[in-house]
Chains A and B, each alone.
Chain A
C-alpha cells in the first residue's frame, strides 16, 4: 500500500505571496491532519479533516486554511506569507478520527 504523499517536497516563496500544499492520504484513509514543524516549536497541529469537514483546528491565524476533497485528498493554503511561516509542513492520514496517524515526508517551505 502506498504511503502518504505530499507535493511539492520543496518550495521557496516570497513574503506576501500565498502557497498551496497538497496531501494524498493512504488509500482508504478518510482523516487527514496537518502539522507545522519548526526547530523551536516542534510539531504543532494545524487542522484535521474528516469526510470533507474540518473537525479540529489548532491555534494558527486565519491565513492558514485547508480543505478536503471527496477522494480524501487534502490541500492547505497559507496566504500573505511571513518569514515565520518557513517550516516543514507535514500531513498525516488515519483510517478514522482518532486512529493511528501515518505521516508523509512533508513539504519544506522557505519564505524569503
Chain B
C-alpha cells in the first residue's frame, strides 16, 4: 500500500520554465511534508518542508503548495535551471514515533 503517491515519474522542462511535481496522501495523521532533492551518487538532501497549518511556503525559487482538504501537496520550481536536474522525492510523517514515508520520486530534466 503506497501511502504517498507522487507524479509524474519523470518531467522535462525548458530552462526558465516552471517545474511542478505533485503528491497525494491518504493518512490524515500526516502533519509534516518535506521535499528532498537527490543528485546521482548522492544521498537525498532536504529542500523544503511544510506543516498543514499553512497553505504555502516559499524558499527562493522553490514553493510548496498544500491543500489539506484534498490531501495533496506540490512542489513548484520557478525559473528552472539545468542545475535543478535531479530526482525529487516528497515525503510525509505523522507526529510521534512514526517513520518518514516517501513517494517514488520524480526525475526532473531541465533542458536549455
Which residue numbers of A lie inside 8 Å of B, CB to CB? 4, 33, 35, 41-45, 48, 55-56, 58, 90, 92, 97-98, 100-106
CB-CB under 8 A from B100, the residues of chain A are 33, 45, 101
Which of A44, A58, A103, A106 is in CB contact (< 8 Å) with B45? A103
Chain B interface size range:
20 to 34
C-alpha spacing A43/B42, complex, angstroms: 14
Closest A residue by C-beta to B44: A103
For residue B42, which residue of chain A has the nearest CB? A105
Once the chains are docked, how many angstroms separate the CA of A35 from the CA of B36? 14
Query: Can you report 17 residue pairs joining A to B where beta carbons are below 8 Å apart?
Result: A4-B43, A33-B99, A35-B102, A42-B89, A42-B103, A42-B104, A43-B44, A44-B102, A45-B101, A56-B98, A90-B43, A98-B93, A101-B34, A101-B46, A103-B43, A105-B41, A106-B42
Contact surface of B with A, Cβ cutoff 8 Å:
32, 34, 36, 41-46, 49, 89, 93, 95-105
- Of all chain A residues, the one with the shortest Cβ separation from B94 is A98
Say whether chain A's binding surface is mostly helix, strand, loop, or mixed. strand
| Complex Cα–Cα for A33 and B93 (A) | 14
| A111 nearest CB across to chain B (Å) | 20
Query: From B95, which residue of chain A is reached at the shortest CB distance?
Result: A98
A84 to B101 CA separation, bound complex (whole angstroms): 21
Closest CB of chain A to B46's CB: distance in Å? 6
How far apart are the CA atoms of A55 and B43 in the complex, in Å? Answer: 23
A58 vs B99: C-alpha distance in the bound complex, in angstroms? 8
Docked CA distance A15–B54 (Å): 49
